[in-house]
Structures are given as C-alpha cells and as structure tokens.
Amino acid sequence: MTRVEANHRRRASGARTRSRTRVRLGGGSRSEVRDRLDKLVAFARGHRRAIILTHDNPDPDSIASGVALAWLLEQMAGVEAVVAYGGIVGRAENRALVKVLRLPVVPLSRVVFGEYDLIAMVDTQPEQGNHSLPAAHFPDVVIDHHPERPETKLAVVSDVGRDTGATSTVVTDYLRASGLDVPPAIATALFYGIKSDTRDLERETTPQDVEAYLWLFPKADTQALSQIERPRLPEDYFRLFHKAVEKARVHGDSVVCDLGKVYYPDLVAEVADRFLSMGDVKWSLAVGEYRGSLYFSVRTRDRRMNAGKMIREVIEQEGGTAGGHGSMAGACLPLKGIAPTARRRMLRRVFRCFLREFDAEGARPRRLV
C-alpha cells in the first residue's frame, strides 16, 4: 500500500468511526497523531544511532513498544536503533515473546551509551525510577501511557499520559499514521502488548486501545501468539506458586503475600494478579525479594481507589520507587545496608500501612491452607 492509499484508507475509516460529537479517541484525532509522528521523525532524522530503553524487567508492553519504535525510526528516519533493558526478561510468556518473534532486544549491560546520539524511553519516564538509564543521561524522546511526571517535560519529544491502557497503543497509532506495511513480528508484539497490559481489553481500556487491537489483529501471527501465551513453564514456577498459597494471608477482602526470595522479579506481579481473581478479594498485595531489592505489587478491583497513588505514598516514604495506575501498581525498595531485623520491622510497617489503606487493618488474618 502506498502512502497516498494509506492516507485515503485512514480518512475513510476515520469518517466511519467519528461520531457527531467527534469523540476524541483518547489520543486525539488522526491529524494530531500525524503531527506528533512528523515531529518525532524530524527530530530523529538529525541522528545516527538510537538507543531505546524499556523499564527494568520489561513486560510485553514495554518490549513491544520499544521494538516497534526502533523499527519506525529505522524506516522513517534512517536511524539505526537498538532496544535495551535493565534487569531480566523473567516471565515465561515474555521470554517466549522475545524468542518466538526473534525480537532484537539486548540487556543494558551490553550497551555503551557513548555510541548513541539519541536516547528514547518507552513505557516509563525519567522520574519513574524503574529503569536503568545512567544518571548522567536524559532521554530525548519519551513515550509512555502512565501519568506524566514533571521532569518528562524536559525531553525534546514526549508523548505521555495519554491515558491509554498500553504504550503499545500509542506506538501503534504512529505506525497507522506512517502508512508503512508493518511486519508480522512487530504487529504480533504490539497486539500482545495491548492484550496483556489491558488483560484482554478489560483493565483500564480506552476506545483507542480497542481500535489499535483490531487494527493489529489481522496483521498478527496467531500461531506465534499461541506459543507466546502458552509457554513451557519451569519447575520453579510451580514451586513458587505452592509457596505463595502457603504464605498468603487473607484479611477480610484483602490478600497479602510475602513470597521471600523469587527467581525473577515480575513473579511478584503474577502472584498479585492471581490472588485478585480469588473469591471476593478486592485488594491483593505481593512482595518478593530479588537481588537485594524488595518488589511490591498491588492490585485492586475497587474502581474508586488509585493503587498507583497509594503505593507511591507507602513506598516512597521508605526510600523506594513506585509507579502505576488505578488498578495496578508496583514498587521497588533496595535493601542495601539494611540489617535483617530492621528489614523485618520495615516490612511489617509497610504491610500495616497497606492494610490501613485497604481498610482491612482490623480484620483477623487467616491462612489459605
């Protein structure tokens, strides 16, 4: 499809989806997206090599938006781009995503920052604290669906806080506006990025996410998708879930679970997700230790509450970093220099704070098994 054809098609579909009140599909009109893409490409053209940073222990949304942005910059601005992450790709589905689609992502430890003249960040922001950008650097480009942090305004090009369910949706809008023919691997990654971040279009989903999802689906490799969604799981995974069930404490309609050491950090989020699906549970909190840091995940069904704001209030006063949105949030707290007894005290204090926030402070805890 040529650019002109693509434009025609875009205009035609835009006319169909536009209602009389001209609903702004979360991210603004097609021409607004086109303007943002033009600005990004014009800026990137003056550069040779780009590094695109995901958040640490990247999830499918950050991996997909990183890889898609890299492809877009290469295609439209002739910039050589690499996607790098701090931490590890831990979750079996995420490892399968990278492997099955052969996505070009590398650990940050293999990257020399001096070799790049453009730095981009996806699915996180400089102040978010959940990424490994060295303090001496600041990103030129930031694309993220989380609420905008003040410092992000200092980036040359930023597209943040659009309130979509996934960063992949924002990047998909760029691809749509570009008129380029998107390769199956990129389309599949973005599709899975939206699918997993919105939990099948159920969590924090906007009409814009649905539109991007439907646009990507016919371009996606469904066989690859199936291999990603149902990966082989290591024995450790089952051992950890056994432990999670033993360690869970139910306080009224809240579940709290201290997993101890975990073999990859995003397992904490997986456990918190799982417990939220139990019975009448409205709040779920899981914590696990990985390489000298505590990882926290909070999930809620209570739409009036803001898990992101809550976790920031609790964890930042302990010296950690936190982020997230209404129904899901995470935090990281480095344990360096804290003695085991002080550690236990701190964890008790944090649990008490959360239980107060969950309105479950008085509830008698009970075990699951």
Residue 196 beta carbon to Mn ion: minimum distance, rounded to whole angstroms: 9
CB of 8 to Mn ion, least distance (A): 32
Tokens 């400089």 belong to residue = 126
Q: DSSP for 1-43, please give it.
A: --HHHHHHHHHHHHHHH--TT----SS--HHHHHHHHHHHHHH
Q: Which of residues 132-191 bind Mn ion (CB under 5 A)?
A: 167
Closest residue by beta carbon to Mn ion: 61
- The answer to whether residue 56 forms part of the interface with Mn ion (CB under 5 A) is no
The CA-based angle 113-115-116, given to 5 degrees, is 75
- Stretch of residues binding Mn ion (CB under 5 A), selected from 59-67, 71-79, 151-159, 240-248: 59-67
Whole-angstrom distance, CA of residue 186 vs CA of residue 74: 13
- Count of CB atoms within 10 A of residue 101's CB? 24
Residues in a beta bridge with 122:
143
- Residue 145: CB minimum distance to Mn ion, A: 6
- Answer for the pair 237, 336: CB distance below 8 angstroms, yes or no: no
**Interface with Mn ion by CB under 5 A: which range of 36-44, 85-93, 119-127, 153-161?**
119-127
| Binds Mn ion by CB under 5 A, chosen from 61, 93, 221, 357 | 61
Q: State the minimum distance, in angstroms, from the CB of residue 60 to Mn ion.
A: 9
Task: Lay out the site mask for Mn ion across 326-355 (x = CB under 5 A, - = otherwise).
Answer: ------------------------------
Among 93, 123, 211, 289, binds Mn ion (CB under 5 A): 123
Q: Give least dist CB 138 to Mn ion, A.
A: 21
The answer to whether 342 and 323 are in contact (CB under 8 A) is no
Between 54 and 254, CB nearer to Mn ion: 54
* CB of residue 241 to Mn ion, shortest distance in Å: 24
Q: Which is nearer to Mn ion, 209 or 221 (CB)?
A: 209
Q: For residues 206 and 74, what is the distance between their CA atoms, to the nearest angstrom?
A: 29
Q: In what order do the strands lie in the sheet with 118-122?
A: 105-107, 80-85, 49-53, 118-122, 141-144, 157-160
List, in sequence order, the alpha helices (H) in the chain.
3-17, 30-45, 60-77, 92-100, 167-178, 184-197, 207-216, 222-229, 235-247, 267-276, 307-316, 340-357
The region of 86-94, 95-103, 118-126, 219-227 touching Mn ion under the rule CB under 5 A is 118-126
Q: How far is CA 152 from CA 87, 101, 333, in A?
A: 22, 31, 23
Instruction: Give the nearer residue to Mn ion in terms of CB position, either 167 or 172.
Output: 167
Task: State the minimum distance, in angstroms, from the CB of residue 58 to Mn ion.
Answer: 10
Q: Which is nearer to Mn ion, 61 or 270 (CB)?
A: 61
Show the tokens assigned to 322.
């936190």
Restricting to residues 184-203, which ones interact with Mn ion according to CB under 5 A?
A: 197
From the list 115-123, 184-192, 285-293, 340-348, the region that binds Mn ion by CB under 5 A is: 115-123
Cα-Cα end-to-end distance for the chain: 59
The smaller minimum CB distance to Mn ion, of residues 34 and 145, is found at: 145
Q: What is the CA radius of gyration of the chain?
A: 21
Closer to Mn ion at the Cβ: 197 or 357? 197
Q: Considering the complex, what minimum distance in angstroms separates the CB of residue 317 from Mn ion?
A: 25
Q: Which is nearer to Mn ion, 103 or 255 (CB)?
A: 103
Judged by beta carbon, residue 64 or residue 157, the one nearer Mn ion is: 64
The smaller minimum CB distance to Mn ion, of residues 130 and 254, is found at: 130
**Cα distance between residue 24 and residue 251, in whole Å:** 42
61 vs 140, beta carbon nearer Mn ion? 61
Interface with Mn ion (CB under 5 A), residue total: 4
57-84 burial: b if 16+ Cβ within 10 Å, else e: bbbbbbbbbbbbbbbbbeebbebebbbb
> Taking CB under 5 A as the criterion, which residues in 234-253 touch Mn ion?
none
Q: How far is CA 115 from the centre of its chain?
A: 27
Interface residues with Mn ion (CB under 5 A) are: 61, 123, 167, 197
